[in-house]
Amino acid sequence: MSGIKVRRVFVISDLHLGGQPPTMMSTPGRLAAFIESLPSRLQSDERLELVINGDFVDFLAIDPCEAWTSTPVSAREKLLKTASASTFTPVFTALASLVARSHRLTILLGNHDLELAIPVVRDALLDAIGATPHQVHCVFDGSAYRIGGALIEHGNRYDTANENDWDGLRTIASALSRGESPPVALRVSAGSFLVEKVVAGLKPRYPFIELLHPQGELLALLLAAFEPALIFDLPKVGRVSRANRLQNSNARGTQPGHTYAVAATVTEPPVDEEVRLAFGTAYDGLMMASEQVSVSDVLLAAWNARQDSLSEILTRGEDIPQNRIEQIRVAMRRMLLDDTSDRVDGDTQQYGLAARRIIESSEGAIEVVLMGHTHLPRQVGPARRPTYINTGSWTDVIRVPHAVLEPGQHVELQRFLAQLHGGGLRTAMATYADLRIDRDGHVSSAALVELKES
């Protein structure tokens, strides 16, 4: 045992490299400097491992936007475009230096970088950092990654709108590794479908839209409040979103209309009375179980008299209609990083429940669970011995002052939206997990750390 060193593991996630400025991450130089600094943080008895826990390269952010870039040549070109872009080159250079110094690098998939599982794309990534397959550990099959008492996974497994089709991905990668045509098509998640079909088209008018990190029904409601014309473009979006929910519940033996979380028991989604009051029939329709009811059907009934987009109203400097700004307020209040939701002791939702279930079922073998995906840094448990850590994100975020989302604060919210529309109010996040795992696999310390500006 004397020759085995303690493992010092740094975990980061949700880098979202890729795309044209303004990208989701505006501080790649800061990330590169962090990676370069890691060897200097080691103690003499430690060996270093960096884990990138999903959403490393954001293939959806790279033109052309596709929920899944199925053509290997096109996916490889997207990776090469990102690695060679002056904006992101420093990150790849820093990773190359880390690997060249014989430190361990492990990469897991998220829900925006599934293309890394395509053999030629994985090979291009390794070439970009000057590494061989023996130098980089790629966990591209849907498995969680275990390091002693630490379990690491991206976390989108517990988000039914963004679950990966692992069976399809493994089948596709297997066929491509043999030079064969894939016998199946990947079933893209509803979240990725929405990014391609709706969010990507809004980016020219709302460059901040991706930074809101919208999810589920709130996405449809918020977008319709922003852009009434979207009502006529949402039929397929509604059907995919609802079919995804029904498929997930039926596949697990539950009844349609129930929301299934791998982390917890099956329950009816609770009615949000404030959202219901603001959105009326649209909200009721979204919560209905019938597969025949699409998002577009209910949105059309609620907004068929609307003409102006929010962008046009703000550009003209006019007041946003009261009912509409109230809809925006309640939707944003549910989904955004306000001035309290980025607290490390904030709500962990289904992800914290999943971590607790995993730990309890492991009978002591797993001491801490680490996830990403939500972009919300979280830590549950004692300062140096937490049981759950969400490593947050390195992307830019929009932090909304709590006061502007309070009832009746429409003037303040309109002022905030005008600043946001003008390109301001972005701030950069940088959080990571720092673990020390003893020779026997015991997690002797673990902590969520925020990288401070130098």
CB–CB of 212/310 below 8 Å? no
Q: What is the pLDDT of residues 223-247, one digit of tens each?
A: 767 776 655 444 444 444 544 544 4
Q: What is the pLDDT of residues 67-108, one digit of tens each?
A: 999 999 999 999 999 999 999 999 999 999 999 999 999 999
Cβ neighbours for 11, distance < 8 A, ≥ 6 positions apart: 51, 53, 152, 370, 389, 391, 432, 433, 435
- For the ranges 117-121, 194-198, 228-232, 291-295, the maximum mean pLDDT occurs at 117-121
Task: Flag the least confident range among 212-221, 232-241, 304-313, 384-393.
Answer: 232-241
The predicted structure's pLDDT at residue 396: 84
Band the pLDDT of 364: cuts 50, 70, 90. very high
Q: Which long-range contacts (CB under 8 A, 24 or more apart) does 122-131 make?
A: 124/76, 124/79, 124/80, 124/83, 125/57, 125/79, 125/83, 128/79, 128/80, 128/83, 128/92, 128/96, 129/92, 129/95, 129/96, 129/99, 129/105, 130/96, 130/99, 130/100, 131/96, 131/99, 131/105
| DSSP sequence for 204-254 | TT-TTGGGG---HHHHHHHHHHH-GGGGGG-HHHHHHHHHHHHHHHHHTT-
Task: Flag the least confident range among 158-167, 205-214, 351-360.
Answer: 205-214
- For the ranges 241-245, 340-344, 425-429, the maximum mean pLDDT occurs at 425-429
The predicted structure's pLDDT at residue 267: 44
| Number of residues written out for the chain | 454
The predicted structure's pLDDT at residue 232: 46
Q: State the burial class of residue 283 (Cβ atoms within 10 Å of its Cβ: 0-12, 13-18, 19+).
A: buried
For the chain, give the percent of residues with pLDDT over 90: 52
Average pLDDT estimate for 279-289: 61
Three-class SS state of 65: coil
Average pLDDT estimate for 96-125: 98
Cβ neighbours for 280, distance < 8 A, ≥ 6 positions apart: 302
The predicted structure's pLDDT at residue 254: 40
The predicted structure's pLDDT at residue 311: 86
For the chain, give the percent of residues with pLDDT over 70: 79
Q: Count Cα atoms within 13 angstroms, Cβ side, for 175.
A: 14
Task: Flag the least confident range among 46-55, 101-110, 409-418, 436-445.
Answer: 409-418
Average pLDDT estimate for 139-163: 95
Average pLDDT estimate for 369-377: 93
- Residues β-bridged to residue 50: 10, 105
Band the pLDDT of 253: cuts 50, 70, 90. very low
Cβ neighbours for 291, distance < 8 A, ≥ 6 positions apart: 239, 242, 243, 246, 256
Indicate the DSSP class of residue 449: E
Q: What is the pLDDT of residues 48-75, one digit of tens each?
A: 999 999 999 999 999 999 999 999 999 9
Give the residue from 50, 49, 61, 48 showing the smallest Cα distance to 16.
61
The predicted structure's pLDDT at residue 370: 98
Average pLDDT estimate for 190-197: 80
The predicted structure's pLDDT at residue 327: 84
Q: What residue spans define the domains of the chain?
A: 6-187+342-351+362-397+427-450, 214-335
pTM value > 0.75: yes
The predicted structure's pLDDT at residue 452: 80
CB–CB of 410/326 below 8 Å? yes
Bridge-based pairing state of the strands 431-437 and 443-450: antiparallel
The predicted structure's pLDDT at residue 230: 59
Band the pLDDT of 288: cuts 50, 70, 90. low
The predicted structure's pLDDT at residue 220: 65
For the four alpha carbons of 135, 138, 195 and 31, in that order, the dihedral sign comes to: negative
Three-class SS state of 439: coil
* Angstrom distance (rounded) from CA 367 to CA 148: 9
Average pLDDT, the chain: 82
Measured in degrees and rounded to the nearest 5, phi and psi for residue 414 equal: -65, -40
Cβ neighbours for 385, distance < 8 A, ≥ 6 positions apart: 367, 368, 443, 445, 446
Distances (CA, A) of 383 to 390, 430, 444: 14, 19, 12
The predicted structure's pLDDT at residue 215: 52
CB–CB of 8/378 below 8 Å? no
314 versus 282: the higher-pLDDT residue is: 314
The predicted structure's pLDDT at residue 155: 97
What Rg, from alpha-carbon coordinates, does the chain have?
22
The predicted structure's pLDDT at residue 343: 67
The predicted structure's pLDDT at residue 302: 40
The predicted structure's pLDDT at residue 177: 97
Q: What is the pLDDT of residues 15-45, one digit of tens each?
A: 999 988 767 888 899 999 999 999 999 999 9
Three-class SS state of 33: helix
Task: Flag the least confident range among 164-178, 208-222, 225-239, 416-430.
Answer: 225-239
Whether domain 6-187+342-351+362-397+427-450 has CATH 3.40.50: the reply is no
pLDDT at 153 over 60: yes
* Angstrom distance (rounded) from CA 75 to CA 62: 10
Band the pLDDT of 208: cuts 50, 70, 90. confident
CB–CB of 117/140 below 8 Å? yes
